[in-house]
Chain A
Amino acid sequence: MTPGAPALLASATIPDALTFAVAAVICVVGALGVVLMRNPVHAALSLVMTLFGIAVLFVEEDAQFLAAIQVIVYTGAIVVLFLFVIMLLGVDRRERVTADVFRGQRVVALGLGLMVLAEVVLLARTRWVTGARSATGALEGPGTNVAKLGRAVFTAYLVPFEVTSALLVLAVVGAVVLARRPARTEPRRGAGASPGGEPGTPSGEGPAGDQASQEVPHAGDAGGAGRRGGGDGADQVGDGGGARLEPEEVVPR
């Protein structure tokens, strides 16, 4: 059960070693897939595969709670979010991997990758970083794993836990504020005279509306309309608000 040194791997039972091998292969293949797949959706699915492999490794280490949370949070929420973005923004086509988006991107990425690798090796093999080995053995003492984790989170690590949750709530509130469409509060000069624009515009409910407004390829026009609107902030809330403003603002002129 105890990871770390190769010597310990030899002492593991055969089912343990087999499980580890299979899960490790799943993890590595998935990770390679994330990097090498051309299609963003395939890359995201490879990420799911890696996360599953890691969940299996957690179960193998008797950390069932972590395994479940890993799948619920990362697979069930975060990668689903990735896929949402990929599908809604319509970037689900093959990308040209040869093109460098940022200059010097590859060199920096290589350097950072090597740094992370060195860090992992240092944490696993030496003890001068934190004063103790990162993995010292299985959890001991009475009580289940879940109970111990719960006790630790709500006693010794209560403040970090609460601060993290407050941070997340703040982030959500911030996202909602930023994403809010100002359509209701702004004074609409052309409100009475908006002929013909209505049926074509999305009704603003749900993904259908979002996607339809994505398909209006007038980012420049929308920004222009926002500027003409006297700084009502329409240009910073994304294409949804901007694109919808367009017909009403343009037609009267």
Chain B
Amino acid sequence: MTGDPLFAHGVGLAVVLIVIVKAVVAFVALLVSTMLMVWFERKVISDMQDRIGPNRAGPFGILQSLADGTKLFFKEDLLPSRAERVVFRLAPFVAVVPAFLVFAVVPVGGVVTIAHHVVELQVADPPMGILFVLVMSSIAVYATMLAGWSSGSKYPLLGAVRASAQMISYEAVIGLTVVMVILESHSLSTRAIVESQAQHFWQWNVIRLGIVPFVLFFIASTAEMNRPPFDLVEGEQELGGGFNTEYSSLRFALFYLAEFMNTITMSAVAVTLFFGGPDGPGFHVVRWLWPILWFVGKTTIFCYVQVWIRAALPRLRYDQLMDLGWKRMIPLSLGWLLIVAGVIVSVSWGFALMGALLVGAVLVWQAARLGRRRRLAGLEPVTGPGARG
């Protein structure tokens, strides 16, 4: 069995300690970076909107999220009288735990040797590593859904149903793009995926697969996290606060934490899948430090792009969101998957498939147009509900 070299020579006390230390360090690092992310997002957005942003707590307001967290901690914990008590209490944890766990399979650095043990700088390296990310994102759906349902109120329920439909739809796109990465890297293990992209930046998957899978993944992961412009979950005009309307205090803080943590982890996953993870030019001084710095740098750039998108784009309408997912991104990712598979078999096959797919797409498009025109010609203009879409 291949796998984590840490367990190659049996499991002793030292190995157990190393694993615990890795888990604790990852946990603390993720918590601190989430705190910084909240501050970063607020500060960058205010910069883009020509405001100052948080500037009271600590230098440059960097402790603002700590202050907010403390405030949330001491607020009154409300339990709506119509709420389903058990599920209402469970939902915030279902949101936070997957957000933490996803980070466990992300390689943050190279390989170091501690006390004769070869240690990979990631919490765990299971053979199905990248599937673990999909597993956790499919569990995150439950948090939204259960929170909305258990609140015993209309707006959260509608927000939750909407959100889970959205998340499930975009999970399909994420799955298809991940399949392309797997095809190119010949492995499900995140460590192997990163290693297959090492050495030169033109071996990064973003270039090897063409830009399209990365763009699809990025859009889909933004939708999966319910971040703007896909934050219909909490569309204020329509739904009050969305699925977490009825939450307050610490439980609300957990949802908030999960949201920002997801931003970081999905950026980290995007870096792992498409940008070589910790890959980058190293120097001979402190060998183990450079990959970590590269990883952190790349992830920060992605987080910045997420904030930028939030500041720049207005929210989509629900039917536009579903159209984008099902009618554009899923067909595109399916077609691109076929092309990638063809190119892997041989380049000429790839081009043949690409041509066939282009012809097919044009034919389908024309057929749809023709059908629509015929229907419009044959019937009087349809008014009322169901006239569009």
A residues at B contact (CB < 8 Å): 15, 39, 41-42, 45, 48, 62, 64-65, 67-69, 71-72, 75-77, 80, 83-84, 87-88, 92, 144-146, 181, 183-185, 187-188, 191, 194, 197-198, 201-208, 211, 244, 248
Contact = CB atoms under 8 A, between A and B. Distances in A.
B162 interface: yes
B127 A64 contact: yes
Given A77-B168, A87-B157, A202-B385, A207 B1 contact: no
A76 B141 contact: yes
A88 to B, nearest CB: 7
Contacts of B1: 62, 144-145
| Contact residues of A: prevailing secondary structure | helix
A30 B162 CA distance: 28
B141 A80 contact: yes
B105 to A, nearest CB: 11
Contact of B84 (A41, A62, A80, A194): A41
Interface in B361-389: 375, 379-380, 382-387, 389
Contacts of B383: 191, 194
Contacts of B384: 191, 194, 197-198, 201, 248
A64 B386 contact: no
Contact of B128 (A65, A76, A205, A208): A65
B161 A207 contact: yes
Contacts of A15: 11
12 contacts: A48-B142, A64-B127, A76-B135, A76-B138, A80-B164, A80-B168, A146-B127, A184-B379, A187-B379, A191-B384, A198-B384, A206-B162
Contacts of A64: 126-128
Q: What does DSSP make chain B's interface, helix, strand, loop or mixed?
A: helix
In the complex, which of the residues A84, A144, A145 has the most CB atoms of chain B within 10 Å of its own CB atom?
Answer: A144
Given A71-B135, A76-B135, A191-B383, A42 B86 contact: yes
Contacts of B135: 68, 71-72, 76
A-B residue pairs, 3 tightest by C-beta: A76-B138, A68-B131, A183-B386
A170 B383 CA distance: 32
A206 B128 CA distance: 35
Nearest to B126: A64
A104 B387 CA distance: 48
A205 B168 contact: no
Contacts of B389: 204-205
A205 B318 contact: yes
Interface in B306-325: 318-319, 322
Given A76-B139, A145-B127, A207-B158, A191 B385 contact: no
B145 interface: yes
Given A80-B164, A146-B188, A205-B389, A188 B382 contact: yes
B334 interface: no
B275 interface: no
A84 B84 CA distance: 17
A6 to B, nearest CB: 25
Nearest to A67: B128
Given A64-B128, A184-B382, A204-B386, 13 more contacts: A39-B84, A41-B149, A65-B128, A68-B134, A72-B135, A76-B171, A84-B161, A87-B160, A144-B1, A191-B383, A197-B384, A206-B165, A244-B385
